[in-house]
Structure 1
Amino acid sequence: MLARLTLTAFAVTLLNAGDSLPRPTGAVAPACRPLAFEGSRFTICTARSGDHRIRLADLDAGGRPLRQFSTLKVYLGTDARRVAFAMNAGMYDLGGRPIGLHVEAGVEQAALSRRDGSGNFHLKPNGVFYGDAGGWHVAATDAFAAHRPRRIDFATQSGPMLVIEGRLHPAFAPDGTSKHIRNGVGIDEEGNAIFAISEERVSFGRFARLFRDELGCRDALYLDGSISRLWDPAAGREDRGAPLGPMVVVLDAGG
């Protein structure tokens, strides 16, 4: 009995120690985790400025929309080994092209949109997720336009905003009847970019409260719904479905 207890204790100690073991050379550390909030299941993926680099991807080398994670992997080439995670980014037209601002590797490929219209993109205020020399940011479109940086590394426009300077979007009911799989991005107090995707259908109100009340984001932007997808290599997850538009890719900075 003593020998069995000693062996069991050793096994538990070894299992617990596994969390502190160094990861293999070249391996990308997991960046996503499950989270339950208000009775709904979500996956939360965190991009940290010291550990990750963010880029956008829309067109392949021949100028054709990528549309799927499988073609994104081919497009990334050797950088595919450095992917911490990827998600669909801003909203797009039937051809897969962005309908709002899209800046990729410092080059503006689609202009900022301030027009009115129907659909989630035009549920004002909409907003922009972008990166510049000062870090990563989410801002309502009008605020972004008024203080647009001269140099932007990447930018994707989508809508509606979920959280605006700590306040929920004024059009959201606490838990409305429109429920979909949704994904979005917010910036926390440390400047990290926090991405979330729901694992079940949720309302705008609940999704916005997730960012504000649980994830500590004063500003957060809706990326899309229904087609929302995640590629999380560390978890062996690669969601498949309808063709995507622009994608946001988070790369391990140490690779």
Structure 2
Amino acid sequence: MRLALALLIGWFALPAAAVTCENITYLGKSYTACDVDPAVDDLRLFLKDEDRILGSFRAIEGLAGVTALPFAMNAGMYHADRAPVGHYVENGVQVMRVIPNAGPGNFGLLPNGVFCITDTTAQVIETLRYVAESPACRDATQSGPMLVIDGALHPRFLPDGTSRFLRNGVGTSVDGDRAVFVISNEAVSFHEFASFFRDHLQLPNALYFDGKVSRLHAPALGRSDFGAQMGPIVGVVE
């Protein structure tokens, strides 16, 4: 009886996802930020289920073994067939190599970076440093441009920039014990978006995910954005 009771108490004591999402107004602009502890939350990247590209939050919720999806977001740029534009690793398997050189569009606006997930950490790493150090990422997705690089905003971002979109991205702490995923709730410039990570969240490194396809799944806020099918997705599962 005592053993059964101890097992029951232990079952109820299993850690639940600690991810928290909140709406924040900063310098007159509205954002939603989801704070993840990689050592506690089961943070993963998702692209395919066998040969089928998942493409939606609902498809991830339907995967075997997934009982809840407390957070998810699109996680990197992709081609028309939804294949990743840059480096992509899922559960230790490389799907796409690293693209180290400059190129067209936001992705190729160097420096860009890689979001690297291990079993206990999550870090945004500038691409050339990533290549040089070859970190052991269980999951990784490359995107660009970097928003914040070692505490400095991307050198191409202008305070009076006129390009404005709904944007999303991720910022991480120095030691990788905190990852904050952010989506703007209104059109913002790169400078405004990057400043939110550096000056409000005080994160030294941050990476842009997208500005044409920016979506968030945060059921605690009663939110699950919909639209055209996505490529890579990052999420916390239970």
Alignment of 1:1-255 (within 5 A): 31-61=20-50, 63-74=51-62, 76-79=63-66, 81-132=67-118, 135-149=121-135, 151-189=136-174, 191-252=177-238
Unaligned runs of 5+ residues in structure 2 are 1-11
Q: Distance in 2 between matches of 1:104 and 1:120?
A: 23
Q: Letter of the aligned partner of 2:170 in structure 1?
A: V
Q: Distance in 1 between matches of 2:143 and 2:100?
A: 11
Q: Distance in 2 between matches of 1:30 and 1:133?
A: 15
Percent identity (aligned): 44
Q: Letter of the aligned partner of 2:152 in structure 1?
A: R
Deviates more, 1:46-55 or 1:35-44: 46-55
Q: Which aligned segments of 4 or more residues in structure 1 are displaced greater than 4 angstroms? A: 25-30
> Once the 2 structures are TM-superposed, how far is the Cα of residue 29 of structure 1 from its aligned partner?
5.7
Given the two structures, how large is their TM-score scaled by the length of structure 2?
0.88
**In structure 2, the residue corresponding to 1:177 is in which secondary structure?**
coil
Can you list the C-alpha shifts for 1:36-68, whole angstroms capped at 9, x where unaligned? 11100000001113420211100122x122222
Instruction: Work out the number of aligned pairs and report it.
Output: 226
Can you list the C-alpha shifts for 1:124-180, whole angstroms capped at 9, x where unaligned? 01100002366211111001111112x321100000000000000000001411000
| Aligned partners of 1:189 and 1:216 also within 8 Å | no
Q: Distance in 2 between matches of 1:84 and 1:165?
A: 30
Unaligned runs of 5+ residues in structure 1 are 1-22
Larger Rg: 1
| 1:29/1:188 CA distance change after superposition, 3 Å | closer
| Aligned partners of 1:175 and 1:206 also within 8 Å | no
Deviates more, 1:159-168 or 1:114-123: 114-123
Greater per-residue helix proportion = 1
**In structure 2, the residue corresponding to 1:87 is in which secondary structure?**
strand
RMSD between aligned residues: 2.1
Q: Distance in 1 between matches of 2:37 and 2:24?
A: 18
Q: Distance in 1 between matches of 2:19 and 2:78?
A: 29
| Aligned partners of 2:39 and 2:121 also within 8 Å | no
